[in-house]
Amino acid sequence: MPVATLLPFTATPNRKSASPTSFRLTEKFILLLVFSAFITLCFGAIFFLPDSSKLLSGVFFHSSAVETNTRTGPDSSDSGSAGNDDRVLAKIRKDHEKALLEAKDTLQKRPDEIKQDIIIEKEKVVKESMGQGGKDVNNLPFVEYRRPPGATGHEPLDPETRDRRAKIKEMMKHAWDSYRRYAWGSNELRPVSKQGHSSNLFGSIKGATIVDALDTLYIMEMFEEFDAATDWVEKNLDFNVNAEVSVFEVNIRFVGGLLSAYYLSGKEVFRRKAVELGEKLLPAFKTPTGIPWALLNLKSGIGRNWPWASGGSSILAEYGTLHLEFMHLSKLSGNPEFAQKVMNIRKVLNRLDKPQGLYPNYLNPNSGQWGQHHVSVGGLGDSFYEYLLKAWLMSDKTDEEGKKMYYDALQAIETNLMRKSSGGLTYIAEWKGGLLEHKMGHLTCFAGGMIALGADGAPGDKTGHQMEQAAEIARTCHESYARTALKLGPEAFRFDGGVEAIATRQNEKYFILRPEVIETYMYMWRFTHDPKYREWGWEAVQSCRLDGVRDVYAPTPNHDDVQQSFYLAETLKYLYLLFSDDDHLPFDHWVFNTEAHPLPVIKKDKTDRPNEVE
């Protein structure tokens, strides 16, 4: 035996031959440290790795958990521990089998079905945790969410249609990504200068594009983007602002956008935000007649009208375009006030005499009298007529008052405003104190779709006639695009001074990505399946760009550098639906608000009534 092995380790110069038992004090200390670090690591892993609590209970507390189980369970008795163990093992086996079955079941489901199940489970938990009266922490009643059919679609069979639809989704992706990159959180994007743009229509409320785009993202199945938008809404959408907003714009874009996002996804945050904003809009109705102000300070609750609006009048298309959203707000909040406010508007209107059966655009909210006698189915008047028809449809055709008001108004429009040009183009003129102005706005082009949508319910055998009118308006609006250099429609076009469907005034030659013409093509396609509507829509896609242009007759575009939020909410959505099958957002289950936000039909048959407040 070498001498060195007999010597203590400390005295040995050659460590390789040292005995392991003969460590120096410092080395012992290091070893101890390593050992204790190892133990800490093991415990750390048990405590801090995901789901470590389960591991911990499985590894360490198994027997005590078993004891607890057997002690508190219905079978708890003092019978021998062997019997207990058998029962426990049987229970574990049963639980495992159940979990396996559930997992198998889940694997067979589509991702959206799984998502929906999770939402329903969550809601169950919320319901169970709610106290008496069935209200949640936000003081909202429990609503059993059931998604109406057709929230998402499927690929069209025809390859060309499929490609075109995919192209529109690409356009949406591009518009969204650019907004996300350069203007996230602002109201809109300036695509040329690559920065945010804020419109004073929304005061200092932010994120108009996000809220307006939510449902389009959803129906196009852009779920990653939808989730990012939802996250922004949860964390940043704030209505506690000291700012004056347009009641109409905030209602159609924000309340409408939030309601649709709720009905499509079932996410409670959207219901909560929609109701919160709706409540903030209620002070606008504090006028002697209950006809709301156009502008409202959300903090002070003080309202007023546009200074240019005929002696302080409220505007037909503004106060008349709250009905759909407010009916749903009552439904989702359990607060009847929203519905009462909009039903009162109808009462006021029904008490008034109408010149030639027409509704003037201006109404004084103090006196309850008409202002200037200007009638238009375009700007200032348009969506009032749309909401009469859609209120009837959204009520599952029970709102007879809305129905009558719509068809009576349409008759007066046909008699007094609708004309045919010498070149055979049907148009809807404007009426000023009894005189016709032979001008049709781009906004008026939505009327083709509206008339087609209402044709089926038209009284006295007028269905065919109204479908023809709708088709003629679609053709006129297509001509207004076809007769320009950029193949995009001007803001307004005229039928006088020797022109037809052409803008003659410089300030009417611009195009701001408006959706109305595409909207009409979409309705006409659904009702006729005439391929020309898809062709016309495709022509527009090829001419379209990310922002508006100042003159559609100038061959070189002069950009306006604004990507309007309604481009994502409406123009791209209607284009996508134009190239989708009819069971995507089917008309017997959904009605579009004037910003193209789909709201479900409130079914009269209780068994099929989705989203009913309990």
- Least distance in Å: CB of 254 to ligand DMJ? 12
Q: Of residues 212, 225, 318, 382, which has the active-site annotation? A: 382
- Least distance in Å: CB of 443 to ligand DMJ? 6
- Least distance in Å: CB of 322 to ligand DMJ? 12
Nearest alpha carbon to residue 448 among 421, 427, 419:
427
Among 325, 491, 560, 595, interactor with ligand DMJ by CB under 6 A = 595
Among 190, 514, 573, 584, interactor with ligand DMJ by CB under 6 A = 514
Sites for ligand DMJ among residues 418-457 (CB under 6 A): 443
Token pair 């309007």 in the structure block, residue: 564
Question: Is residue 594 marked as binding?
Answer: yes
Pattern 221-240, ligand DMJ, x by CB under 6 A: --------------------
- Least distance in Å: CB of 571 to ligand DMJ? 8
- Least distance in Å: CB of 121 to ligand DMJ? 37
- Is 382 among the residues known to form the active site? yes
Q: Which is nearer to ligand DMJ, 76 or 198 (CB)?
A: 198
Q: Distance of CA 54 to CAs 45, 64, 295, 513, Å?
A: 12, 14, 57, 56
Residues 363, 11: Cα–Cα separation, whole Å: 107
Q: Which is nearer to ligand DMJ, 268 or 570 (CB)?
A: 570
Neighbours of 536 (CB within 10 A): 23
Residue 436 burial by CB count (10 A; 0-12/13-18/19+): exposed, middle or buried? middle
Q: Distance of CA 604 to CAs 172, 298, 342, 438, Å?
A: 36, 35, 20, 43
- Is 491 among the residues known to form the active site? yes
SS3 state at 475:
helix
Pattern 523-562, ligand DMJ, x by CB under 6 A: ----------------------------------------
Contacts for 107 with CB less than 8 Å, ≥ 6 apart = none
Token pair 């079932």 in the structure block, residue: 266
Q: Which is nearer to ligand DMJ, 266 or 489 (CB)?
A: 489
Answer yes or no: are the C-beta atoms of 474 and 524 closer than 8 Å: yes
Based on the shown chain and the rule CB under 6 A, indicate whether residue 510 belongs to the binding site for ligand DMJ. no
- Least distance in Å: CB of 51 to ligand DMJ? 48
Among 297, 383, 484, 611, interactor with ligand DMJ by CB under 6 A = 383
- Least distance in Å: CB of 566 to ligand DMJ? 4
Neighbours of 242 (CB within 10 A): 10
Quote the tokens at residue 450. 């509206």
Q: Which is nearer to ligand DMJ, 266 or 449 (CB)?
A: 449
Q: Of residues 212, 386, 491, 560, which has the active-site annotation? A: 491
Q: Which is nearer to ligand DMJ, 143 or 453 (CB)?
A: 453
Q: Of residues 188, 249, 318, 595, which has the active-site annotation? A: 249
Residue 348 burial by CB count (10 A; 0-12/13-18/19+): exposed, middle or buried? middle
Answer yes or no: are the C-beta atoms of 522 and 576 closer than 8 Å: no
Nearest alpha carbon to residue 612 among 398, 215, 267, 328:
328
Q: Which is nearer to ligand DMJ, 136 or 570 (CB)?
A: 570
Neighbours of 128 (CB within 10 A): 7
Among 232, 362, 566, 590, interactor with ligand DMJ by CB under 6 A = 566
Q: What is the 3-state secondary structure (H, E, C) of 274-307?
A: HHHHHHHHHHHHCCCCCCCCCEEECCCCCEECCC
Based on the shown chain and the rule CB under 6 A, indicate whether residue 594 belongs to the binding site for ligand DMJ. yes
Based on the shown chain and the rule CB under 6 A, indicate whether residue 580 belongs to the binding site for ligand DMJ. no
Sites for ligand DMJ among residues 110-129 (CB under 6 A): none
Residues 540, 488: Cα–Cα separation, whole Å: 7
C-beta nearest to ligand DMJ: residue:
594
Residue ranges of the binding site for Ca(2+)? 594
Binding site for ligand DMJ (CB under 6 A): 383, 443, 514-515, 566, 570, 594-595
Active-site residues, by number, are 249, 382, 491, 516
